[in-house]
Amino acid sequence: AQKVTQAQTEISVVEKEDVTLDCVYETRDTTYYLFWYKQPPSGELVFLIRRNSFDEQNEISGRYSWNFQKSTSSFNFTITASQVVDSAVYFCALSEPLQSTLTFGKGTMLLVSP
Amino acid sequence: KAGVTQTPRYLIKTRGQQVTLSCSPISGHRSVSWYQQTPGQGLQFLFEYFSETQRNKGNFPGRFSGRQFSNSRSEMNVSTLELGDSALYLCASSRGDRAGTGELFFGEGSRLTVL
């Protein structure tokens, strides 16, 4: 069975600090996909990134970066120079190929204060 | 282009009643998935429809049902409401090439409160 663990329930930082959100996953499959979604107060989940299990290259998109390590089954998300607009709940998710479902972690609430 | 639209956004029901939630996917998307979000259980998969057929179902009782119409719009129904059904119900659409491999586009959800 698949499982995603986000051990950090809530993180509070001051603007301009760097912050890393942890994600650890479990799956028996060798092929799978990992995702990060952002949920602002409006409620909708906003897609941030998808990674397949064969691509361990780290990715950077502006202030966002992701570190995928199969050896530790982790897919961590770092926000550099955080801003108040980054305040949201962030979800890590996992899916198997040919499956149409996502298994989500419980989410990490990030609060960025001015 | 227009995003995923869910109606109603908020609703209040009493125990024993039933409720129907609606989801209009992004134009051209053929797959619609539903998720329940609660503070205790987090985000849990309910079901997924593709071309009017239920392709996958989560671990929920039979009181939870859904359907998809020929225009890809989807509805979900919860009968005999219980207090524990209070949640944010999120709909997501995708092109349909197995939603799990691609990006899901989510609506803002329907927040159901059961009294």
Q: What is the pLDDT of residue B98?
A: 59
Mean pLDDT of chain B: 92
Cα–Cα nearest to B24, from B7, B9, B10: B7
Q: Do B103 and A50 touch (CB under 8 A)?
A: yes
- The answer to whether A110 and A88 are in contact (CB under 8 A) is yes
β pairing state of B10-13 and B110-114: parallel
Q: What residues have CB less than 8 Å from B31, skipping those under 6 apart?
A: A100, B25, B48, B49, B50, B55, B93, B94, B95, B96, B99
Question: Which of B3, B43, B105 is facing A91, going by the closest CB pair?
Answer: B43
CA angle A111, A112, A113 (to 5 degrees): 115
User: Residue with structure tokens 């409160």?
Assistant: B113
Chain A nearest-CA distance from B79, in A, is 23
Q: What is the DSSP letter of B25?
A: P
pLDDT tens readout for residues A14-41: 999 999 999 999 999 888 899 999 999 8
Question: Which pLDDT score is estimated for A42?
Answer: 84
Q: Over chain A, what is the mean pLDDT?
A: 92
pLDDT tens per residue across span B5-30: 999 999 999 999 999 999 999 998 88
pLDDT score at B100? 58
Neighbour tally for B65: CB within 10 Å: 16
For B54-63, what is the mean pLDDT?
92
Determine the residue among B4, B32, B37, B43 to mutate to test chain A binding: the one whose Cβ has the most chain A Cβ atoms within 10 Å: B43
Q: What is the mean pLDDT of residues B72-91?
A: 97
Kindly report, residue by residue over A59-110, the tens digit of the pLDDT.
888 999 999 999 999 999 999 999 999 999 999 999 876 666 889 999 999 9
Contact A105 B42 (CB under 8 A): yes
Distance CA B52, CA A8 (A): 39
